[in-house]
Amino acid sequence: MQTYYFILFVLSALLTGAYMLIWKKHYDVHLTLVFGVIPVTNLGFLLQAQAKTTEAALFATRFAYIGGCFLQLFIMLTIFSLCGIRVPKTLRVIFAGLSAALFLTVQTIGRNTLFYRSAELREINGRMVLVKEYGIMHTVFQIVVIAFFVISIGTIIYSLIRKNQVSRKILVSLLIPDIVCMLCFFLGRQIFPEIELTPAGYVFAQICYLFITYRISLYSVADTAAETMIQTGDTCFITFDTRFNYLGSNSTAKKIFPELRNLIVDLGLRHSRTLQQKILPWLEQYRDHPQDAEKNRHFVPYGDKIYLFTVKSLPARRGMKGYEIIGTDDTLDRAHINLLENFNEQLNQQVEEKTAHIVAMHNNLIMSMATMVESRDNSTGGHIRRTSEGVRLLIDAVKETGAFELSDTFCRNLIKAAPMHDLGKIAVEDAILRKPGRFTPEEFAVMKTHAPEGARIVHEILKDTDDDEFHILAENVAHYHHERWDGSGYPEGLKGEAIPLEARIMAVADVYDALVSKRVYKEKMSFEKADTIIREGMGSQFDPALEPVYLAARPKLEAYYSSLE
């Protein structure tokens, strides 16, 4: 039996040594304490197995209870830290004081009856066994350990359900060893009465925690930033593993790409259509052409700033462990370029005039195409013009209410993109598009294809444009303006904030026009009834955050539609 305890002690010491080799200063202090306490505790079990007298056995027992009194506390505090849950300092002091008080009572073993009423080393079946009768404080000790365990498990389960930004692999790696240690502690003697399973459980826990420390080096944005000499603030960074699974990002990155807030750690970009369109091409391009610096420069406007994004490898001792996207404020550099360009002001003015002319021609072409599509549909005359004005009034209401923080560029692009939302109808056959009545289910299925088809057409029209932001926005408007907030829309069945904001705004203008305008299969609806339907749809068909926007725009919408009569 002594060999068993000796092997476990040596293993725990070696695992602690391995942890110290990979230790970094940002690692949680409680995790470090776990690795420090386990070898000491296992040494106590070894000394207990070697004891020849009752006094030696009691000394070893007091030694071994270091783990019993403090390990579950340290594990619980590690779980709080890795799950991003802040525990008030007062509560931490109470927890620590409770564990310290229990440990002090442990030190009275053999001196009074608080923890052990009696204890004597006896030879049973050829081996020395410490026979003891437990006191009241041992019961308190078990209650405290169980309480810490329940809190720990509850915290992990809560994080699995509610915290997207905590790695599921880390949570599972915290859950399993905690359960194993408790089973060894409370049931080990009943299963294997001749040996203590607790030290084996501690060694198993160390192995799991070593895996956690490896994952921390991937997920910890702070560590990545320190290693690449990047400061927080205006610098943003996003990390992925070699399979493009999301690992983490800092607050600045989440401001520029709000979709990151809803992206679950360890899942791929396919779970966010917007990020898949924006970021996935950067990663693939870098993977395929890591030495091509020109292809690894991506500019993203945000507010009054312009960010330069580049992709870097996250190096490991063998190969690489993932990718990091770094974004820096490039506004000053762009301003410097603009200053140099001012020396050619006259030439620039001519270029701008030519560009404005080209843009006007481009916009007229888009409007002509939209009008041509509308001319084929005998039920929606003037729909493009009316919905475009509806979008403009809703945008004005957004600015008035402050419901969303929209850049001027976004607002201009959405108004410009509104006429393109039904371009996909050009691919719908006349027999369905011009039908003077409601569609059959089969016909409606064909009609629904106008949304993805419209996105494809918009993509082809704008694929060579330099205005990537307008390109993406216009494509989203055409593709997703029939999606519903509750996920019952088409063509993708997107739900909630997964639907791009531009498409959510377009949907309100589109449906409102359909309600208050005359169609061949229905008369126009009164403003009051249309208002009831729109408001009832908030939270099911429409984004509920758009309700105050719609209410603010309603008088102007009614005035505009009244002027058309």
Given this model, what pLDDT does residue 22 score?
79
The 3-state DSSP class for residue 163 equals coil
Phi-psi group of 487: left, alpha or beta (phi > 0 → left; psi -120 to 50 → alpha; rest → beta): left
The HSE-up count of residue 164 (CA atoms within 13 Å, CB side) is 11
DSSP state of 424: G
Question: Do residues 63 and 117 lie in contact, with contact meaning Cβ atoms separated by under 8 Å?
Answer: no
Instruction: List the chain residues with pLDDT less than 70.
Output: 1, 25-26, 165, 188-189, 216-233, 315-320, 333-381, 520-521
Given this model, what pLDDT does residue 260 score?
86
Given this model, what pLDDT does residue 229 score?
39
Given this model, what pLDDT does residue 98 score?
93
Give the distance, in angstroms, between the CA of residue 482 and the centroid of all CA atoms in the same chain: 26
Q: Where in 47-89 does DSSP place strands (E)? A: none
Strand (E) or helix (H) holding 170: helix 168-191
Given this model, what pLDDT does residue 10 score?
94
Bond from prior residue into 88 cis (ω within 30 degrees of 0): no
Question: Do residues 131 and 120 lie in contact, with contact meaning Cβ atoms separated by under 8 Å?
Answer: yes
Strand (E) or helix (H) holding 284: helix 280-288
Given this model, what pLDDT does residue 347 score?
57
Question: Do residues 458 and 474 lie in contact, with contact meaning Cβ atoms separated by under 8 Å?
Answer: yes
Given this model, what pLDDT does residue 185 score?
79
Number of Cβ within a 10 Å radius of residue 236: 27
Given this model, what pLDDT does residue 85 score?
87
Please choose, from the candidates 4, 30, 9, 6, the residue with its C-alpha nearest in 3D space to the C-alpha of residue 202.
9
Given this model, what pLDDT does residue 545 score?
94
Given this model, what pLDDT does residue 443 score?
86
Question: Do residues 218 and 247 lie in contact, with contact meaning Cβ atoms separated by under 8 Å?
Answer: yes
Given this model, what pLDDT does residue 274 score?
84
Q: Which domains does the chain have, with CATH numbers?
A: 2-219 (1.20.1070.10), 222-329 (3.30.450.20), 343-563 (1.10.3210.10)
Question: Do residues 478 and 457 lie in contact, with contact meaning Cβ atoms separated by under 8 Å?
Answer: yes
Strand (E) or helix (H) holding 300: strand 298-302
What φ, ψ does residue 191 adopt, rounded to 5°? -85, -50
The 3-state DSSP class for residue 297 equals coil
The pTM assigned to this predicted structure is 0.47
Question: Do residues 293 and 308 lie in contact, with contact meaning Cβ atoms separated by under 8 Å?
Answer: no
The residues that bridge with 164 in the sheet, in sequence order, are: none
